[in-house]
Amino acid sequence: MSEPLLDGLDRLRPHLLDPDTLVRAVASGRQRSRAPQWRRVELRYVDLKAGRHLQVTSYDEQQAHTANHAVGTAAGAAVDALLGDAFGNWHVETTTQSHQLRVTKKGEALVHTSDRARPVEVTRGHDRDKERLLPEDDPLFRELGLTDAQGRLKPSRQAKYRQVEEFLRLLDTTVVEAVEKGHLRRPTEAEPLRVVDLGCGNAYLTFAAQRFLSHVRGLPVAMTGVDVKEQSREHNSAVATRLGADARFVVGTITDAVVDPAPEVVLALHACDTATDEALARAVAWQAPVVLAAPCCHHDVAAQLRRVPAPSPYAALTRHGILRERFADTLTDALRASLMRLEGYKVDVVQFVESQHTPRNTLLRATRTGAPARGGAQRSEYEDLVGTWSLTPRLAVLLEQQDAGA
């Protein structure tokens, strides 16, 4: 039930000012009628030589700005200034609880509080590892087999846990920015954010995305997972029931699966070879505002490179098998990014996880921003690239087929 905004913020204030129990707090988003000074702000307490301080890290569009405030009057003033700003969401984690405040369209506060399964210890070091977006003792990780019955991470599952964490960081940044810039609507309980994971497999990242967006970010989410295996659907549906997650799973191919209404966020994480192209093509057909794709293998372009002599003077790039394979990976994703830009998306290609944890560590992030760039320099750049290497990207074929059938 909603309450006056000032009352909701007053409930958060003691937790923000408790130097012993606050684990982490994040302010993000904007209120309907006004925008905050910063895109995002993170708060935590750190132990410095001068004693314990409230560390406030404020993010603008380019960089992070960090300031430390002594416990007491200085910390109180910093917290009050932030509570008075126009943030639309507050997430406050303490050693025993998690508090989520969301500002409604009417300017009221919706506050949700949940208890942790067990108290957590807080690291107050100034130099630290990245904060966890989902704590290790979250029931999700136990259900997925990453932690034991006591909520402790299994040594053999650390790489998978890091993969989940890094994916959530990228998802968080992309979704929050898309909402703030008006490219993605702000979801409501009546109309939750529609997310689909194409080729979800055992749905590690599907469930992580659903749980993070709904429980941590406080965004209503309707999640759909698509996979060709009936066994995956049965397994994932059972997990969703046990977790109480708003997630459904359907059997189908990436190309033919029925997802209605059309999703707003499309995930395709480690879809093999041209399955990534199929996922990107469907996202374009849906006009999905946000797309995140982590390609797996890149056999299609590699095979085309083997069939045609390399143009001069680039023969050295494809003469050796290992170099040809790596070049094919880079070329494939560069062409995908170019094609998505031509379809009206802002695109960047980033590192998914550290290379020592997985050799497939590239993520393509695309946000739909406006009219397709059908001509001009971007079109010429793409045509020059495929012409030089005599390539026919699978994504280009799929997009042409969609245009012809439209």
Helix axes 376-389, 321-342, angle to 10 degrees: 150
What separation in angstroms does the CA of 83 have from each of 10, 30, 67, 78, 133? 9, 12, 16, 9, 22
pLDDT tens for residues 28-80?
A: 888 988 889 998 899 999 998 889 999 999 988 777 788 999 999 999 999 99
The C-alpha atoms of residue 207 and residue 164 are separated, in whole angstroms, by: 10
The C-alpha atoms of residue 102 and residue 259 are separated, in whole angstroms, by: 29
Between the two ends of the chain, the Cα-to-Cα distance in Å is 45
Q: Which of 169, 140, 171, 137 is nearest to 151 (CA)?
A: 137
pLDDT tens for residues 199-257?
A: 999 899 999 999 999 887 778 899 999 999 999 999 999 999 998 888 999 999 999 99
Residue 117: is its pLDDT beyond 70?
A: no
Q: Which of 17, 19, 22 is nearest to 76 (CA)?
A: 17
Q: Please, what are the domains in the chain?
A: 3-127 (no CATH), 157-405 (3.40.50.150)
Joined tokens for residue 260:
């209605």
- The structure's pTM equals 0.71
Residue pair 228/256 in contact by the 8 Å Cβ criterion: no
Longest dimension (CA), the chain: 71
Joined tokens for residue 369:
């921003």
What pLDDT was estimated at residue 203?
92
